[in-house]
Each structure stands twice: as C-alpha cells, then as structure tokens.
Amino acid sequence: MKKTFSDEDLIKNLSLYYLNRHLKKKPIEKYHRTIDESPLHDREKYRKKSEILLLNSFMHHFPEVKFENLTCESPDFIAKLNDKKIGIELTEVINHLEMKKVESTLNKMFRQAEILLEQEDTTKYRGVYFLEFHPNVKFDNLEVQEENIINIYKSIKKNKPIGCVKSIRKSSHRRNVFITHEYNMNLFDELCSDKILELIEKKNEKFPYYDTSVDECWLVIVSDMNSIASRYTFIQDKEHLQEVKSPFHKIFHLENLCGNITSIK
C-alpha cells in the first residue's frame, strides 16, 4: 500500500475545524488567505493556519483584537488592541503524552483510508466519519496498521463497524472524505496545573528573545480539545496557577471546544 502523508492531506484536514466549533468565519477566512499569500512553505502555512484556528475562541473573548502579522516568529503573532501592539505567543499543553504518538499514528492511518475511499469514489463517500475503536487495539507495527487501515476503509464503505472499529458516525461534508477519532469525554480526566506551570517556565526562558518592538507580550496556552492527547475535563490544583511569576504581561489558558478561558496573570 502506498505510504503518502502529504502537505495536501494536512491542509485538507483543516476543514475539520469548521465542523467542530463556531468560528468567527470572516476574520478566520481573511487570515487564512493572508497566510496563503505569504512566502511560507506549505507545511509552515498549515501550522500557522492551525494556530490561528486554535485562537478562534480567544477572538470571541477579545473581539477587538486585529492581527497584523500572522507569519512572524517569537512571538507567533502580532496584533493590535486598544492602540497597543501586542505580541501573542501560542503554545499547546499536552495532557496525555503517551497518547501523542498513538494519535499521530491514527492520523496517518486515517489519511491512508481517506485516499483509498477518494480514489474509489469521492462523491459516494464524501463526509466526516467519527470512529471509535475497541479497547486494547494495537497500532504499534506496520502489519497491524495495514490491517487497521483496511478495516477503517471497509467500515466506511459498508457503513458498519468492522474489525478494530467499534462504532462509526457520519456527518455531512460538501467536498471530501474526512476521518477522525470520536470525541469521548472522561468526567474524571484532570489536567495537572504543574504541566501548565512547566510550560510557562519554558516560555519564560525564551522571553528575552521575543520581538522587543511590541508594547506587551501575551502567552496563550491552549488545550486543543479536538486532540485526544490534549483533552481534559478539569484543572487539578487550579489555585496554584495564581502563584506564577513571569515576564509576560498576560497569561491565559484556553480550551477551544467551549471556549472557556482562565486568566493566569
């Protein structure tokens, strides 16, 4: 089976974000066009588009923010707010490190199954498919991955769970075939505040190297709730976050599903 995980596949799957949250679509589309028109490599464009999408909930809390530089580094973005030039550094907090590798493997398998379905008949199979897998399914070697890809392909083709697939749910999409992991919330899935504090410490060390032309520099820490590696239901020992010391002018923790924001500094 052909092993392909291209920039086109990555960019294509950005459309999943539009199906999973209420976007401020006009500015998002405008910002994406600006990124597309930049000289960045396609993979960098994908990363920047993903980052600005993660900040969508942030824009709901700060609707007057206008992004001026979307393609800079250190910080990730420069925006205008109340006549101030604000640098915004964005970072994701990973809640389940052991799931990060599994999620990467799953995404590659999903892309392979998508390719098979689109090669067969894009019009017939177009849609978004949310898959849940049986417990203890293995993804750790190529032979098993090949088998799982075929099971995913057959499950969608026959519209019923086969092999490793426990359940399948479909949502409409106008253009392509998209496959993602079913969202399951664990009511006791805590995010330890120490993980957030460790991230802040790492960013504090880099602060002297950020653009000094900005009036303020903000740190936005995001839990990407569309990622199985980042999901959480509550922050453990949340009060510890109020003790943080940092040169950043403001620090926020944001979750991008319901848009809840916590002001840390």
Whether residue 5 is predicted with pLDDT greater than 60 in this model: the reply is no
Residues 6+ apart with CB under 8 A from 158: none
Supply the pTM of this predicted model.
Answer: 0.79
pLDDT digit string, tens, across residues 150-188: 999 999 999 999 999 999 999 877 778 889 888 776 667
What is each CA distance from 15 to 10, 32, 50, 175, 179, in whole angstroms?
10, 12, 10, 10, 11
Kindly state the percentage of the chain with pLDDT values over 90. Answer: 45
Average pLDDT, the chain: 85
Name the nearest CA neighbour of 80 among 57, 56, 60, 63. Answer: 63
User: For position 3, what pLDDT does the model report?
Assistant: 43
31 close to 37: Cβ distance less than 8 angstroms: no
Beta strands 84-92; 77-81: pairing state: antiparallel
39: Cβ contacts below 8 Å, ≥ 6 apart: none
For 67-77, the pLDDT digits (tens) are 999 999 889 99
The top-scoring range by mean pLDDT among 7-11, 25-29, 75-79 is: 75-79
Q: Rounded mean pLDDT of 180-208?
A: 87
Q: Which residues of 107-116 are buried (b: 16+ CB within 10 A; e: fewer)?
A: bbbbbbbbbb
Nearest to 128 by CA among 17, 212, 256, 260: 17
What percent of the chain is modeled with pLDDT above 70?
89
pLDDT 10s digits, 73-116: 889 999 999 999 999 999 999 888 888 888 888 888 998 999 99
DSSP 8-state class, residue 93? P
Report pLDDT for 20: 53
Residue 198 has pLDDT above 90, yes or no: yes
